[in-house]
């Protein structure tokens, strides 16, 4: 499953070079070309999925299993103090490459990474109602 003119399909297939950390039949892990911090890398499935909404659960489970391994190795090598795992879906959410990918962003004291939101106030009645609806939709 690949999409014409998708840069990550080409990188995943090795047709466009990348600094690859790891590769298997289903994934390629490589350093981000514009890193937010030292060691910022991307985990990309070789199959094309536009985003998480396009992806099957097995592919998601395989990818997260790999992310768990890579995160630990990356922490060991970089000596980072923490790590953000970021995964954007849709332009509204900051996605710029429309082939599913997961960012692993090591964190260091004094870095310039900014992953955040303004905390809101929870309406407990609304939350319960939404919890029921989402559970039914699952």
C-beta closer to ligand 5GP: residue 96 or 112: 96
Contacts of 28 (CB under 8 A, 6+ apart): 11, 12, 14, 18, 20, 22, 44, 46
Pick the binder of ligand 5GP from 30, 44, 67, 83 (CB under 6 A): 30
Would you count residue 9 as binding Zn ion (CB under 5 A)? yes
Active site residue 99: no
Stretch that binds Zn ion, among 44-52, 76-84, 104-112, 119-127 (CB under 5 A): 44-52
The 3-state secondary structure of 73-105, one letter per residue:
HHHHHHCCCEEEEECCCCHHHCCCCCCCCEEEE
Would you count residue 26 as binding Zn ion (CB under 5 A)? no
Would you count residue 115 as binding ligand 5GP (CB under 6 A)? no
Stretch that binds ligand 5GP, among 29-37, 77-85, 108-116, 122-130 (CB under 6 A): 29-37
Q: Name the token pair of 113.
A: 């990474």
The SS3 assignment for 112 reads coil
Pick the binder of Zn ion from 46, 99, 101, 103 (CB under 5 A): 99
User: For residues 38 and 105, what is the distance between their CA atoms, to the nearest angstrom?
Assistant: 8
Q: Is residue 106 within 8 Å of 77, Cβ to Cβ? A: no
Q: If residue 120 lies in a helix (H) or strand (E), which one and from where to where?
A: none
* Distance in Å, CB of 11 to Zn ion, minimum: 9
For ligand 5GP, the binding residues in 63-102 under the rule CB under 6 A are 88, 94-97
Which positions touch Zn ion (CB under 5 A)?
A: 3, 6, 8-9, 48, 99
Residues that are catalytic: 101
């Amino acid at each position: 499953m690949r999409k014409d003119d998708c840069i990550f399909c080409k990188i995943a297939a090795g047709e466009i070079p990348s600094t690859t950390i790891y590769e298997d039949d289903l994934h390629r892990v490589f350093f981000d070309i514009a890193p937010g911090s030292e060691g910022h890398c991307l985990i990309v499935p070789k199959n094309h999925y536009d985003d998480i909404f396009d992806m099957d659960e097995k592919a998601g489970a395989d990818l997260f299993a790999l992310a768990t391994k890579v995160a630990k190795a990356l922490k060991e090598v970089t000596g980072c103090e923490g790590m953000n795992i970021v995964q954007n879906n849709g332009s509204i959410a900051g996605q710029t490459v429309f082939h599913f990918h997961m960012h692993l962003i090591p964190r260091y004291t004094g870095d310039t990474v900014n992953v955040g939101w303004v905390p809101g106030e929870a309406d407990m009645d609304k939350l319960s109602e939404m919890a029921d609806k989402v559970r039914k939709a699952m």
